[in-house]
Amino acid sequence: MNIPKISQIFSTYRTAGLPVQKNQGISVPTRPISDTFVLSNAEEKEIVKKIFSRTRKFSIKNYKKLNEKELEAMRTICTNDMFAKEAADINLDMALILKPELDKKYGEDNYVFVSIGRSPSGIARVFEFMGVETKYLPISGLRNYPDEDCVIGGAEGLREYGKFLKEQGITNIDIDFSDKKYLFFDYTYSGKSLDYFKKLIKRYYRVNQPNMEFISLNGELNNSVDDSSYKKRMVQEYIEEFLRSSHMQEFSGISELRVKNLFKINECKKFESDKAKKFNFLLIDELNRRHLLKDNPKNKKSL
């Protein structure tokens, strides 16, 4: 079977602006939206605009407050954004591949999913909305340094970032008193970024507990599927198109934070883009449909 790549799908979207339909698990373009349909969306667009204007981050709490008219407007507008729909679908698929493996290894939801930077944040959102305790630690550009000492030497705002880590519960006391494993995930190519972050946390911030693990997201995804399976090909496409590229960044709601500008961490708390809010809604709505939606009060401070 000839399976279209996610990259081909995105290229088609950009050139043609087409909506999507599911075909054997893959999103494929359908016919263009008519002008009449676009005009009929005016009221829905206004409803969604008002909903987004009163939310910093679209959450389960926001979802549960929607009345039927608002809910249908959100479904119409968010689903018609083919980029957000494709991102939500594939990240949900990947999370549902990964989660059973983590549950089997550590116990169901008996771990904290920590997303380093923006790459793992799409899967992390799914985990968050499924009730897993989830934390987001914006940081990028680590791999550009020759060693961990240069990372520390080139960073500005280490004190401010340290305060942020405490707010997120990344402290010796919080982790030591938890009966959960803290799983720090990042996309790895050479492995340098994850290694440098590990040393930054352990050596500079002195957060070092036995129940901390630092894990390659792409490595764990590959280990979760059989080499000959259809899911293996989906995982490879996801790694190529979402982890290695910038596709996830506009939907993640997590701002870029360069190592040299760690003092800007407070700016990462201010808002999500409308793209990210659409992404969140689509995930929440689908998880609710599958009876997998769960709100964890421990995620209240998560970005």
Percent of the chain with pLDDT over 90: 69
CA 271 – CA 269 distance, rounded (Å)? 6
Q: What is the CA radius of gyration of the chain?
A: 20
Instruction: For 7-45, write each residue's pLDDT tens digit.
Output: 554 444 344 444 444 444 444 444 444 444 454 589 999
Provide CB contacts within 8 A for 41, sequence distance 6+: 76, 77, 80
CA 217 to chain centre: 12
Tokens 């950009």 map to which residue?
14
pLDDT of residue 15: 41
pLDDT at 84 over 90: yes
* pTM listed for this prediction: 0.86
Provide CB contacts within 8 A for 27, sequence distance 6+: 9, 20, 21, 82, 85, 86, 89
Residue type, 173: I
Order the strands of the 111-116 sheet from edge to edge: 133-137, 111-116, 181-186, 212-216
Instruction: For 150-207, write each residue's pLDDT tens digit.
Output: 888 888 999 999 999 999 999 999 999 999 999 999 999 888 999 999 999 999 999 9
pLDDT of residue 40: 55
pLDDT-based confidence at 244, cuts 50/70/90?
Answer: confident
Q: Parse the chain into domains and list their residue ranges.
A: 82-299
pLDDT of residue 9: 46
Instruction: For 267-288, write each residue's pLDDT tens digit.
Output: 988 878 999 999 999 999 999 9
CA 55 – CA 106 distance, rounded (Å)? 34
Measured over the CA atoms of residue 270, residue 272, residue 277 and residue 283, the dihedral's sign is negative
**Residue scoring higher pLDDT (230 or 245):** 230
